[in-house]
A and B are shown apart, each in its own frame.
Chain A
Amino acid sequence: MAQKKFVVGCFDDEKVLFPAVKQVRTAGYKIQDVYTPFPVHGLDHALGMRETSLHTAGFIYGITGTTTAISCISWIFTKDWPLNIGGKPHFALPAWIPIIFELTVLFAAVGMVMTFLWLCQMAPGVKKHHFHKRATDDLFVMVIECTEKTNAEDLKALLAANGAVETDIQVAEDGWWFGTYDNDNEKLYKQVAH
């Protein structure tokens, strides 16, 4: 993972954040991310993100569960070991509906959570750079990656003019690594003096 340079602006009110997002984007900067303590509705659209297709994945997992259940049970009860239960049909679909339903739900739920963790690159022991400690408490932290063309000081001024309560320039790891959160300086703030 590469180390990159970021300009960070912290906001303390979502009402200030939204116009600021608009201003920064209009000024031509690409916002890397906004870290918020709770889901701020509409922020994903304001940042120009596309809708997630996680629910489609969930549907596919669910269908997989349904087919797994139907095919397994019908193979077991009609081919592998047909049980004669009071002379009733071996292919007893109505009696299997409970299990088919349960497996549909199980596959969909487990699959979706796994996919969610994969997409967000989250797992026990994974660590990511923190741009601000209070991003999980009460601050909305906007992060913009610097390119060669970016004048970081100008950008900081723009953020401050749009209501950021704190602005900052940070050099940090972009992705994730295995680490624990008791070791604060592991990979953080290594080369701030750029």
Chain B
Amino acid sequence: MHLKYESQLREPLVYGNKTYAQVTEDIVRPIEAKPSRLWYIGFFIAVTLLMFGAYSVYREVTYGIGEWNLNKTIGWGWDITNFVWWVGIGHAGTLISAVLLLFRQGWRTGVNRAAEAMTIFAVMCAGQFPIFHMGRVWMAFFVMPYPNSRGPLWVNFNSPLLWDVFAISTYFTVSLLFWYSGLLPDFATVRDRAFTKLRKKLYGIASFGWTGSTKHWQRHESLSLVLAGLSTPLVLSVHTIVSFDFATSVIPGWHTTIFPPYFVAGAIFSGFAMVQTLLLIVRKVFGLTDYITIGHIDLMNKVIVLTGSIVGIAYLTELFMGWYSQNKYEGYTFWYSRAYLFSPYGWSYWGMMACNVLSPQIFWSKKMRRNVFVTFFMSIIVNIGMWFERFVIIVTSLYRDYLPSSWSVYYSPSIWEIGFYAGTFGLFFTCFFLFAKYFPVIAIAEIKYVLKRSGESYKPGFDAIETQPLDKFVHDHAHAH
């Protein structure tokens, strides 16, 4: 499933002089140690944000959508912006775990577990927004097609909003299954090292009685490969369908055929930035710098500069088409509402351009790609930029309607709208802190699988090859093909 032979040119995926037992020790140690003070502080902040979010949602459910400063012109504001933003963040996890598995990229092993966890938590956060935007959230089950006493009145299968229901719920389920099936062997590893009765009991239940039998591994490999094959088109479909929410409408600025690839690239872009933010902290706090190496960070930054540039091309294409179509409404939206700096929301467009298109270009430099501080800073910038992108798409297309009488310029969020967004950060980080404390944050079995091929101490390196006589090298390698 991964690389079979590896060039000596490639940098090792695992640094240090590791044995299999050492790999287990390194990755399981944070789970077995007491959490640090920093963990408690972080967890406390996350839970506090979650509580504030819960109260904001309580306000919204009790008093209605009016608690948010939406109006009849700008009917989608922060909530749908946040929804698309969180879903997009989720995409990097599936990309790393599924697409890179199919492309046989060995480096995914160091980062896939945490990235998949991020996917699941991000999709959980994303789901909150459309559900609570319904207003009467106690009727949310109406989105499910089932025989009912209202006719039966079915849902509209031709509506992109219903496609979204299916896409997001399928995405969540499949990601969860993929993640958990990968966790089973690692839970068994934790279980077999456990030193208290409670740990043995809980990790025993969580591991489903995994033994490591060869037949089970064979099936597990088959399962992972097929789930990866299913997740790859799934992840593309999910953000495609999210973009259909906009693209199938007739609103200038939304009604464009470029949306699916543009949204998918943007999703991967922001997702990788979030992976960087999280993993840079995790590798430092848990001492996993041998497994999540500078090489991993370098590779992910390459993905960021690629997808950032794709997104940039999409922005320019939109501008070009706004002019080339000679459609007055399109032109007005793209050239006035968005690109004109001194229009009411021009600042958000140029904020987006600066964060998403201009600043990631710094990663053409290898030195910058391998700089931890620059990467961390840029990962935050990119996520701010991608939030602006969704805000630009939604608000700048809506605030000037066809009828000037319904124009609304002064949309700004209420405290409860912001509170809801902050609350999803609370939910995300509460889950992530618990994950980092109780789950193996790196796929132990997969690291062991690549260890003897890509571990630093197992690679002879080029020195050995360069010191041998030329005729011996030719003799050894001439018959290779």
Contact = CB atoms under 8 A, between A and B. Distances in A.
Given A105-B174, A109-B173, A128 B211 contact: yes
A83 to B, nearest CB: 7
Nearest to A46: B214
Contact of A137 (B21, B170, B209): B21
B219 interface: yes
A130 B444 CA distance: 19
A133 B212 CA distance: 11
A181 B226 contact: no
B166 interface: yes
Interface stretch (A2-10, A113-121, A146-154, A155-163): A113-121
Given A122-B209, A122-B210, A137-B21, A112 B226 contact: yes
A33 interface: yes
Contacts of A43: 214, 217
B174 A106 contact: yes
A16 interface: no
Interface residues of A, number: 66
Contacts of A136: 185, 188-189, 191-192, 210, 212
Give the most central of B184, B204, B212, B227: most A CB within 10 Å: B212
Interface string A139-179: 00100000000000000000000000000000000001000
Contact of A176 (B174, B201, B209, B452): B209
Interface residues of B, number: 70
A133 B449 contact: no
Contact of A92 (B158, B181, B222): B158
B211 A130 contact: yes
B189 to A, nearest CB: 4
B219 A181 contact: no
A54 B192 contact: no
A35 B211 contact: yes
B152 interface: yes
A123 B163 CA distance: 32
Nearest to B238: A102
B315 to A, nearest CB: 26
B244 interface: yes
A127 interface: yes
Contacts of B206: 124
B197 A130 contact: no
Interface in B134-162: 145, 151-154, 156-158, 160, 162
B215 interface: yes
Contact of B208 (A38, A85, A124, A180): A124
Contact of A181 (B151, B177, B203, B214): B203
A98 B237 contact: yes
13 contacts: A47-B214, A51-B218, A54-B222, A76-B145, A76-B154, A95-B158, A113-B177, A113-B227, A122-B208, A124-B205, A136-B191, A137-B21, A182-B204
Query: Which 4 pairs between the two chains have the least Cβ-Cβ distance?
Result: A181-B204, A138-B20, A126-B209, A122-B208
Interface of A: 14, 33-40, 43-44, 47, 49, 51-52, 54-55, 58, 62, 72-73, 76-77, 80-81, 83, 85, 92, 95-96, 98-99, 101-103, 105-106, 108-110, 112-113, 116-117, 119-128, 130, 133-138, 141, 176, 180-182
